[in-house]
A and B are shown apart, each in its own frame.
Chain A
C-alpha cells in the first residue's frame, strides 16, 4: 500500500513540477545585497551586522513555493492516502481481472486494521469496458498462533464474456482463435501453518460452479461453433466441483515483490470432484520452483523458474477444458498470445537476466520455453515452444509496480503491461 502511495505522490510531484516549475522562481530568496548608499562599516562584525540590518528591513514569511505548497496540502489532507486506502474503507480498485479483459476498475471496501491489524477484510466489484465483471470478498487472518498460522475465506463471482481458445493440444494454430464466455462462482477456505522459518504447509477446500457459453466478442468465432465436446470437453455441459487439496512451500526469497536472491519452491495437490454430473473429476498437481542467483552485489540477477502443471482424470472421466492448464501470456510464454495453448499438462521454463539501470528500474532479457501435453507420460523437454524478449521493471524499494515485457516468437511479438512481477 505504501508503495502505491509513494508512486502516486511521486507521480503527482513530478507532474506538478514539470508543469509549473519554470513558471515560478525555483530559487529561494537570494542573499540581500547591500544598497549603494549603505554606510561603510569599520569592522568585519560591523559589516555583517549592516547586512543583517538591511535584510531586516524587508523580511517576509518563508512560505514554500506554489508547487511545494500544493504537494504539502496533498500530504496534509492525506489525499493520496484517501485514494489508495480509501475513505471510510472505500476505495477504487484497478485491474485484477483475467488477461484480455481490458482496463478494469471498481469500488472496493478494504480494511486491514480490524482486530488490531490482525484481520483483513475486503470486498470489491470490478468491471471493464469489455464487460468483464468480478465481485469478490475475502477475510483473512495471518497472525494466528503468534504468526505461525493463517486462515482465509474467499468467495467470488465472475462473468467473462470472451475468453480466448485456440483449440486443444500443442498443435493448435494461431488462426484457430475462438472465444467462449465463462461464468464462475467460487468459495474457498484455506488454512496454513508455518512450523519453521520460510516453510509453509496448508489445506485448501473450494466449491466451484461454472457456466460456459458462446463467446460474445463479434470479432471471433464462438468456440462452440468450431469445437466439439469430444475435442473440447465441457464446451457443451458444465458442472460444479468440490475441490480439496494441500500444499507445501519453502519460500526464502528476500523480497517476494521483487526478489534478488533466494528461492521459492511450491507443490500443490488438489482433487477436483465433479459433484453435479460425475463426468469431470480429476487430480491436479502443480509444481513450481523459482531460483534467484544474484551477482555484483545483487545489481545483477539470474532468475529461473520451472513450472509443471499436471492433471490426471479419474477413470472414465475427462478434464474440462476450462480447468486445463494453459500457456501463453504475460506470465509464461510471453511471445505468444494469452491462453494460446490448452492441454491436460503443461511445462514452462523461464530464464531472465536482470540488471539494474537505476534505483527505480531494472531491465531484463528473457527466454521462455514451454509446451502443453495431452498426458503426463508425454511430458518432456523436447519440442518446446520458445520465445525471447526484453522487459522493463519499474520498482519502488525493489517492489515491482509496473512491468513492460516484449516477447518475440515465431507467431510474432507481444507487448505486456502488467502491474505485478512475473516471478
Chain B
C-alpha cells in the first residue's frame, strides 16, 4: 500500500511539475529556441500553409507487426510506466488544437447546426443507382466479403456488408463513426448506407476477383452471386451495404501512432505527442472504437490551392459501438487488451473466480447494435484492442480537451445523428442514443474532475469571465475560485505579483504588456493560468495553462 501511495505521489509530483512547466511556459507548438512565450500571431488557430510535398512513397504496415510491436514492444513504454508522458504538442497557446492536415475544429469550437452535424463529412455523393454499379474488384476472402464499385458518375466506393448474424450492425456503426469522428474534427471518408438488389451489380472485362484462397482472376457474374450468398438479404430481396467513397489523392498507407513520416516535411510533431491523437483516446472510448489502430488510418497526398501535401484520415468504423464488423463485439472489448499480462495472470491464478464488472454487463438483445452498454463503461480505464502509444501518453490536459468536445453534443444532436444509421428496430436507435448520452456524461464527469474545468475565458467590462464546465453540465454545484494576478514578462517568462488587484477585475497595464491570472479552486493542485495581452482594442486572452 505504501508503495502504491509512493507511486501515486511520484506520478502526481511528476505531473504537477510537468504541468506547472506547461502552464508557465504555455505548451505550444514545438519551440525549443523560442525566445518569447507569445508571438504576435498567438493564439494560432490554423497551421501555416503546408510546404509542398513533391513525392511521398506509399507504404503499408503489417497488422501482425503492429499488434505484436505495440503489445510487447510499445514505443516509449517506459514513459507510460513512469506516468511521465511529456507535454502535448501540436496545440496553440490556448491549449487548443489548430486546424491542420490532421484536424479541423468543428464541434466545441464553433457553432454547428444540427444539419451540419448530421451531414458529417458529406451526403451529396451517394452512389448513383440510375445504372448498375460496375464491380472493379472484389474479395471473397475473410469473414465478410467486400467489393470496389464504380457508379455511373465515375465515383469509386468500397462496398461492405453486414454479417449474417447481425444485419444492419456494421453498416450502422460505420456510418455513425464517419459522422461523429468528422464532427469531432477528424478527416474521414464519406460513408453511405445503400439498399440495392442483385441487379445493381455488374462486372466487365476488367473486373478482378480474389477467391477464398486469395487467388486473383477475372471476375464473373457468378462470383457476385457467391459473394452475396454470404450477406443478409431482407424480405424484399434487398441488400443493405455500406458504400464508402474513396479518399481523394494518392494513397500513402496508414499513419503510425508514434514518430513522424520521414517523407513529409510538414509532419514535425511526434504523433504520440499530438493532442489530437492523444485526445482521440477519449473519442474512441466514447464510441467504443476498440479497433483504433494504425491499420484503420490513411495518409493521402492531395493537392489544394496549388499545394500538394499529406492529409491524415481515420477510416473503417465498422468495429465501433457494439459491432466488431463480422460479429457482435466481445464483452471484453473496450475493457482489456486482447493480451494484457496482468489481467491475464490474475485470471490464470484466480481460476476465473475474479469476475470484473464488465463480465456482468447486461446487453439488450438487439442484433443491429451488437454489444454496447454504458453502465460498466469506465472512461478512464477503457482499452483499445491493443496498446496505442498516443493513447498511453495522454495527459489530463488531453482528456479534458477531448471531453469538452464530447460534451458539446446535445441529446438532440446525438438522437438526430443516430437516426442516420437507419436502424430498422426503433429500440436499437433508442439504445444507441441512450448509450451515447450516458457514456458522454461519464466522460464529462471523469475528465472534468482531473483538472479545474474552467473555460470560455473572455474579458468583458474589465472583468475576466469564464465558465465552469462541471457546473454547466450539472456534474456538481458552483464552487469558489480565487485568482492571483501577475505581470508577465513575455521574454523572460518571469511573473511579478500585481498589487491592488481585486478579484477577477483585470488590472490595467500598458498596451503590449501581459498579465497572468492564476485561478485556484478547492483542489490546490488544480490551477488555470490565463494569459492576457493588452491590445489597443482591449485585453485579449492569448494563453491558457493548466496544472493538475
Contacts and interface: CB of A to CB of B under 8 A. Distances in A.
B336 A358 contact: yes
Contact of B72 (A17, A30, A38, A45): A17
A357 B344 contact: yes
A219 interface: no
Q: How large is the interface on B (under 10, 10 to 19, 20 to 34, 35 or more residues)?
A: 35 or more
A34 B263 CA distance: 17
Contacts of A359: 330, 332, 338-339
A355 B355 CA distance: 10
A40 B31 CA distance: 10
A59 B73 contact: no
Interface in A103-130: 112-113, 116-117
Interface string B252-280: 10001011111111111110010000000
Given A13-B62, A62-B261, A31 B268 contact: yes
A67 B355 CA distance: 38
21 contacts: A10-B64, A10-B67, A17-B72, A27-B258, A27-B259, A29-B259, A31-B273, A42-B40, A43-B41, A44-B42, A56-B51, A61-B57, A72-B62, A78-B214, A117-B140, A297-B331, A297-B363, A298-B331, A299-B332, A300-B352, A363-B347
Contacts of A44: 28-29, 39, 41-42, 44, 92-93
Interface in A228-252: none
A48 B29 contact: yes
Given A52-B266, A61-B57, A299-B359, A21 B48 contact: no
B224 to A, nearest CB: 11
Contacts of A78: 214
A24 B44 CA distance: 38
Interface in B337-385: 338-340, 343-344, 347-348, 351-352, 355, 358-361, 363
A13 B268 contact: no
Contact of A17 (B35, B69, B223): B69
Contacts of B270: 30-31
B57 A55 contact: no
A59 B263 contact: yes
B325 to A, nearest CB: 12
A381 interface: no
Given A42-B40, A56-B51, A299-B359, 11 more contacts: A22-B73, A38-B33, A44-B42, A44-B92, A47-B29, A49-B48, A56-B265, A62-B264, A117-B226, A296-B359, A300-B359
A14 interface: yes
Contacts of B51: 49, 52-53, 56
B265 A30 contact: no
B65 A68 contact: yes
A239 to B, nearest CB: 42
Interface in A22-42: 22, 26-34, 36, 38, 40-42
Which of A44, A61, A71 gathers the greatest number of chain B CB atoms within 10 Å? Answer: A44
B59 interface: yes
A298 B42 CA distance: 54
B47 interface: yes
Which of A38, A51, A63, A75 gathers the greatest number of chain B CB atoms within 10 Å? Answer: A51
A53 B29 contact: no
Top 9 closest pairs, chain A to chain B, by CB? A28-B259, A355-B352, A13-B64, A56-B265, A297-B331, A71-B62, A296-B359, A45-B48, A358-B344
Contacts of A41: 39
B202 interface: no
Contacts of A116: 222-223, 225-226
A316 interface: no
A12 interface: yes
B64 A64 contact: no
Nearest to A82: B214
B465 interface: no
Contact of B68 (A17, A28, A64, A358): A17
B385 to A, nearest CB: 9
B61 interface: yes
B121 to A, nearest CB: 26
A356 interface: yes
Contacts of B67: 10, 13
Interface of B: 28-35, 39-42, 44, 47-48, 50-51, 56-57, 59-62, 64-65, 67-69, 72-73, 75-76, 92-93, 140-143, 211-215, 222-223, 225-226, 252, 256, 258-270, 273, 330-332, 336, 338-340, 343-344, 347-348, 351-352, 355, 358-361, 363
A9 B47 contact: no
A158 B282 CA distance: 60
B360 A297 contact: yes
Contact of B65 (A2, A13, A28, A357): A13
A51 B265 CA distance: 8
A32 B31 CA distance: 11
A85 interface: yes
B50 to A, nearest CB: 8
B347 A9 contact: no
A382 interface: no
Contacts of A10: 64, 67-68
Contacts of A298: 331
A361 interface: yes
Contact of B338 (A30, A49, A112, A358): A358
Given A45-B41, A49-B48, A296-B360, A61 B331 contact: no
B347 A358 contact: yes
A52 B29 CA distance: 12
Contacts of B48: 45-46, 48-49
Nearest to B339: A358
Nearest to B385: A359
Interface in A301-343: none
A31 B226 contact: no
A2 B352 CA distance: 29
Contacts of B68: 10, 13-14, 17
Contacts of A299: 331-332, 352, 359
Nearest to A5: B214
A71 B68 CA distance: 12
A85 B268 contact: no
B213 A113 contact: yes
B347 A356 contact: yes
A242 B261 CA distance: 70
A59 B310 CA distance: 14
A329 to B, nearest CB: 25
Given A52-B266, A56-B265, A298-B331, A47 B34 contact: yes
A355 B363 CA distance: 20
Given A113-B212, A299-B331, A360 B338 contact: yes
A60 interface: yes
B214 A355 contact: no
A64 B28 contact: no
Contact of A64 (B60, B213, B331, B351): B60
Given A26-B73, A27-B75, A43 B268 contact: no
Given A27-B259, A71-B62, A47 B39 contact: yes
Contacts of A38: 33
A399 B40 CA distance: 62
A368 interface: no
Contacts of A34: 32-33
A47 B48 CA distance: 10
Contacts of A117: 140, 211-212, 226
A61 B363 CA distance: 48
A43 B39 contact: yes
B65 A17 contact: yes
A97 interface: no
Nearest to B66: A68
